[in-house]
Structure 1
Amino acid sequence: MKKTILLIFVLSIFMACHNPSKKQSKPKLVVGIVVDQMRYDYLVRFADKYGEGGFKRLLREGFSVQNTHYNYIPTYTAVGHTSIFTGTTPINHGIISNNWYDKYLKKIVYCVDDNNYRTIGNDGEGGRKSPNRQLTTTITDQLRLAQNMQNKTIGVSIKDRAAILPAGHTANAAYWFDGGAQGTWVSSSYYIKELPNWVQEFNKSGKVDAYLSKPWETLYDINTYTESIADDNNFEGTFNGEEKPVFPHDIPALRSKNNNYTILKYTPSGNSLTKDFAEAAIIGENLGKSKFTDFLTLSFSCTDYVGHQYGVASKEIEDTYLRLDKDLESFLQFLDQKIGKGNYTLFLTADHAAVQVPAYLQSIKIPAKYFSYVKYEQFIKEVCKKYFKSEDLVENISNFQIFLNKEKIESLKLDVNTVAQRLADESISYKGIYKAVTARTLQTTSFDKGILNSLQNGYNQKLSGDVLLVPTPATVSYPKKGTTHGSGYSYDTHVPLIFYGNGIKQGVSKKEHEITDIAPTIATLLQIEAPNGNTGKVITEVLK
């Protein structure tokens, strides 16, 4: 009798494990959320003030990868969004910055500008964009390919680059907010010929003006914002028309002096508007309603604008995240209702983090510096004149890279590698420069760890400069009010990463993972090929 019961028990387990009907069904919708400029420590720092339904719900019910870092330089918005969704770094995907010097066109180019296309949604220039500078596929492209283009991919963000690059080459559409005098959501003729009715209706809804009709006041009593420094300080920027960077910010009175609708980007209301538009996209495009898996890429950009203006320790940044937490709670409830809890998979991360305002660090005796390109360019001219009798050997210095004038160098019968190495060697003596490496070194030497490994991962032989520079920690080229990002140091590379929903375990990992691991992990979950330039690894502990 006991043997019979044991046999039945074993057979029942075997059948449960091999019954196709018991297999985990694929999600109806994947949502990839990027919070622009979100440091990992914001999850912890503001935790006591977060509600139970936003960040805390994701952490409680999802899987948090606590030690996720960017593994390349530079940590900028376009590069971050591209690396998340391609599973690789600039060495392969070709988005080496937001703007960079094109050594073939001999001019600065913007990552998504494309004059082959026109704006869809208004008569301005804000929609002349495409993902054509992105050289590899994205996870969104791979999902479209795997389903013979029968699913949908929609990209949404206030920033054009944050909508376009994650959605990939095959997206049905990407939408972004055109500020200034326009105040509407637009797209590009790369994707569509005209705005769908649901976008037109959204633009006519009056939501934008409604969000701009009220002053920006703190969500809670400002005296309870003890996680931030004093509201009135010398380290924060202001809106045009303001005397001090303090609450409340009278947005209705200030908008005319701050490029009209563009001011919305610098307030938490811009995130709320983005959330509203994403919900409208899900309804308008019927995402998650077919037998195929759809993908929504959603980037909250206002956190970045606020961070740049006020810094990472400000009352404004704290209030922005407390309000974003409310928006996340609302959005998750929307997904539960419209897609169904258990029917969607979501991940949340950031495209980079940010450094504390260097002037603030200096005030408390922590080493920090400001880097002047104008002064450095003069220094380089003097070096060139001293060693090579010419000041015209450099075409451009930007993004901590030097692009040499190779035609001039050849005309003087000089060796390009010799010139580059001399500039690198001399740059080490320049205040604020920590390391300087030539392109030749990056092509012939493999750095397997540390800051030079990050520099190498961000180097693209076809597109990058001839000398690459690494500034000292907490050194930025930025005004002394507010802050920025871009380095390979932990304050810029350490970001949150949370997976949630269909096919995802509950749990926490303290192992170090790279941002490029997201795309292959989602590919494995969906049982599709990873992006064609992928260098990331699957985070196996996340998956059921």
Structure 2
Amino acid sequence: MKKTVFLLLCVMTFHVFSNPCVAQTAPVKKPKIVVGLMVDQMRWDYLYKYQDRYGDGGFKRLLDQGFSCENTMIQHAPTVTACGHSSVYTGSVPAINGIAGNSWYDRAWGREISNVEDSTVTGIGGNAKQNKSPRNLLTTTIGDELRIATNYQSKVVGISIKDRGAILPGGHTANGAFWEESGKFTTSTYYMEALPDWAKKFNEKDWDKLLMPKGWKTLYPVDTYVLSDKDDKDYETIYKGEKKPVFPHKPSISRSPFGNTWTLEFAKVAMEGYKLGQGNFTDLLAISLSSPDKIGHAYGPNSIEVEDNYLRLDKDLEDLFGYLDKRYGKDGYLFFITADHGANHSPGYLEENKLPTGVLTNDVFKELDTELEKKFGIPGLILTRNGYQIYLDYDVISKAGIDKITVADYIIEQLKQVPGIETAFLNEALASATYPEPIKTMLINGFNPKRSGDIVIVKSSGWKSGSRTGATHGDWNPYDAHIPLVWMGTGIRPGKTHRLVGMTDIASTLAAILNIQQPSGSIGHVITEITD
């Protein structure tokens, strides 16, 4: 008996040590394609606010079959489009990846520049002035790392109405990036010398007439939109040619929900044109839907226009999932949806409902210039202002023999006295500032020493720059920073988590799933719960 047991143990020991597969999990199946969908200005609550009116194949399918990270937060401020798109695909923040805003003042150029501006390239297939590329992005993206890992056999494509929504997610080595110009999808010589034939053919169609022959009417009777405010509000934007901000609208396609449909139709022909998902390695398609941002800015989160946009987007998603199912199989693709930022309500809406709000007008900064000149006896100490960043004029300050810190401290003290400005900081001193987390870290993460201003302004909750009409974003607050993140497809298990997840975790998670290196500036962590 003892001899038999001994022999059995010997056989088992030999089997374990001679077979490396024992006690190891099977290799994870890789998707044929990763499809990342960013919805510009999608607040997290839109997943659920209109849920009773969603069909079974769009948002509901995502939440039923996918894994939702319910507490996903942006980790930087400002919370704007370029920063959000670059953060998702680099796994990084503006302080590292260099995308400090939709634009910034470039001291070397002596002017404000766009986040994707590049004088070394020209536009094709549209306006030749579309000199756009990803060269201002200082780190790699997950698409770049995927291309490197497969010796550039994987394909990466970015698509959006906005240039930054296509270019930044695509990264430096993308096979193509396409964005809208004059009603057509265009690109630049950074990527190619001429538009592909399939793109030219797509552009030949009159998509305005195909998708919105009678303009923009509500999907359902307007009086059934009970989760939104009335159609005619004085804080909504009135477009050219309209007398009131009411349905039916006749906007350009990009300012309507049909801009989402148009973008997704272009994405389908791009999948076919590039033969994405048909090679030996995983491909990546980064799509960004810009129309929700245009609609949200004009009408605000509680408008019928925004509700109608998401009810129509729900149907667009159902159509997209059906297309992906047929092309790749339900388990052949990995899909995720997220957003670059959220949005606050219009000051008009907030004041109407007795909620904290206000408007910061340009008069505040004109008065600041006047007070500075009185104090120091010289004009022009402030070079410019971009968003909530103030740039000091170093030449003027130096010639006047004034200390930069002295000027900055005076500006900060003046700003703190302004209603609607919670506080202000010298960017270089943020690390030692007395201010609560996570706000302080968000400001630090948003400060790029070579591109950001000298002073950052923190607005009070609910306040907006400009006017009481429309809505905007850019602040640290949850209404701007709390975004959706739902995964579905290859290897994803159904479920949800309410633990804190960062926007930068998306690229790290993709890297882990694809078994490739994280992007060069990544600070994210893998979201381990989403897979089996």
Given the alignment, which residue of 49, 72, 79 partners 1:68? 72
Amino acid at match of 1:344: Y
Residue in 1 that maps onto 2:447? 459
- Give, in whole Å, the separation in 2 of the partners of 1:478 and 1:389: 29
- Give, in whole Å, the separation in 2 of the partners of 1:381 and 1:204: 51
Residue in 2 that maps onto 1:260? none
Deviation at 1:446, TM superposition (A): 9.2
Q: Tell me the alpha carbon deviations over residues 190-239 of structure 1, each in whole angstroms, 9 at most, x when there is no partner.
A: 00111111111111233343224222111112222111011122121122
Say whether 1:326 aligns with 2:315: yes
- Distance change in 2, residues 1:448/1:376 (3 Å): closer
Residue in 1 that maps onto 2:30? 26
Please state whether the residue corresponding to 2:406 is helix, strand or coil. Answer: helix
Say whether 1:351 aligns with 2:354: no
Q: Tell me the alpha carbon deviations over residues 98-144 of structure 1, each in whole angstroms, 9 at most, x when there is no partner.
A: 1222222221111112221111213x245321011111111111111
Residue in 1 that maps onto 2:230? 230
Q: Tell me the alpha carbon deviations over residues 506-537 of structure 1, each in whole angstroms, 9 at most, x when there is no partner.
A: 11000111111111011111111111001111
Residue in 1 that maps onto 2:116? 112
Amino acid at match of 2:207: K
Amino acid at match of 1:482: G
Please state whether the residue corresponding to 2:264 is helix, strand or coil. Answer: helix
Given the alignment, which residue of 426, 430, 433 partners 1:438? 426
**1:96–1:459 contact (8 Å) kept in structure 2:** yes
Given the alignment, which residue of 532, 537, 540 partners 2:528? 540
Given the alignment, which residue of 94, 97, 103 partners 2:98? 94
**1:271–1:300 contact (8 Å) kept in structure 2:** yes
Deviation at 1:76, TM superposition (A): 0.7
Given the alignment, which residue of 154, 157, 168 partners 1:165? 168
Deviation at 1:447, TM superposition (A): 6.9
For 1:145-294, what aligned pairs fall within 5 Å after superposition?
145-179=148-182, 183-249=183-249, 251=250, 263-294=252-283
**1:185–1:199 contact (8 Å) kept in structure 2:** yes
- Distance change in 2, residues 1:21/1:279 (3 Å): farther
- Distance change in 2, residues 1:382/1:224 (3 Å): same
**1:103–1:403 contact (8 Å) kept in structure 2:** no
Residue in 2 that maps onto 1:79? 83
What is the TM-score with the length of structure 1 in the denominator? 0.92
Residue in 2 that maps onto 1:413? 401
- Give, in whole Å, the separation in 1 of the partners of 2:24 and 2:323: 30
Aligned-residue identity in percent: 41
Q: Tell me the alpha carbon deviations over residues 293-348 of structure 1, each in whole angstroms, 9 at most, x when there is no partner.
A: 10000011111111111111011110100000100110011011112211111110
Deviation at 1:386, TM superposition (A): 3.5
Structure 2: tracts of 5 or more residues without a match: none
Residue in 2 that maps onto 1:401? 389
Q: Tell me the alpha carbon deviations over residues 433-467 of structure 1, each in whole angstroms, 9 at most, x when there is no partner.
A: 10110023126569782322211110111111111
- Give, in whole Å, the separation in 1 of the partners of 2:513 and 2:439: 32
- Give, in whole Å, the separation in 2 of the partners of 1:16 and 1:337: 37
- Distance change in 2, residues 1:451/1:22 (3 Å): closer
Please identify, of 387-396 and 127-136, the stretch whose mean Cα deviation from structure 2 is larger.
387-396
- Distance change in 2, residues 1:335/1:289 (3 Å): same
Given the alignment, which residue of 114, 128, 131 partners 1:128? 131
For 1:43-62, what aligned pairs fall within 5 Å after superposition?
43-62=47-66
Please identify, of 303-312 and 472-481, the stretch whose mean Cα deviation from structure 2 is larger.
472-481
- Give, in whole Å, the separation in 1 of the partners of 2:281 and 2:260: 29
Amino acid at match of 1:49: R
- Give, in whole Å, the separation in 2 of the partners of 1:331 and 1:401: 40
- Distance change in 2, residues 1:20/1:495 (3 Å): same
Deviation at 1:160, TM superposition (A): 0.9
Deviation at 1:369, TM superposition (A): 1.0
Please state whether the residue corresponding to 2:441 is helix, strand or coil. Answer: helix
**2:124–2:193 contact (8 Å) kept in structure 1:** yes
Residue in 2 that maps onto 1:258? none
- Give, in whole Å, the separation in 2 of the partners of 1:43 and 1:341: 22
Say whether 1:299 aligns with 2:299: no
- Give, in whole Å, the separation in 1 of the partners of 2:428 and 2:496: 41
Please state whether the residue corresponding to 2:504 is helix, strand or coil. Answer: helix
**1:473–1:489 contact (8 Å) kept in structure 2:** yes
- Give, in whole Å, the separation in 2 of the partners of 1:280 and 1:195: 13
**1:355–1:483 contact (8 Å) kept in structure 2:** yes
- Distance change in 2, residues 1:15/1:201 (3 Å): farther
Please state whether the residue corresponding to 1:64 is helix, strand or coil. Answer: strand
For 1:451-530, what aligned pairs fall within 5 Å after superposition?
451-530=439-518
Deviation at 1:165, TM superposition (A): 0.5
Please state whether the residue corresponding to 2:157 is helix, strand or coil. Answer: strand
Deviation at 1:497, TM superposition (A): 0.4
Deviation at 1:18, TM superposition (A): 4.4
**2:158–2:287 contact (8 Å) kept in structure 1:** yes
- Give, in whole Å, the separation in 1 of the partners of 2:212 and 2:270: 22
- Give, in whole Å, the separation in 2 of the partners of 1:223 and 1:18: 63
Please state whether the residue corresponding to 2:456 is helix, strand or coil. Answer: strand
Say whether 1:311 aligns with 2:315: no
- Distance change in 2, residues 1:24/1:450 (3 Å): closer
Deviation at 1:472, TM superposition (A): 0.6
Amino acid at match of 1:169: H
Residue in 2 that maps onto 1:387? 375
- Distance change in 2, residues 1:281/1:225 (3 Å): same
Amino acid at match of 2:107: K
Deviation at 1:481, TM superposition (A): 2.0
- Give, in whole Å, the separation in 2 of the partners of 1:454 and 1:77: 16
- Distance change in 2, residues 1:96/1:22 (3 Å): same
Please state whether the residue corresponding to 2:152 is helix, strand or coil. Answer: coil
**1:152–1:171 contact (8 Å) kept in structure 2:** yes
Q: Tell me the alpha carbon deviations over residues 325-381 of structure 1, each in whole angstroms, 9 at most, x when there is no partner.
A: 100110011011112211111110000000011111011111101111x31222222
- Distance change in 2, residues 1:109/1:404 (3 Å): same
Please identify, of 311-320 and 500-509, the stretch whose mean Cα deviation from structure 2 is larger.
500-509
Please identify, of 404-413 and 326-335, the stretch whose mean Cα deviation from structure 2 is larger.
404-413
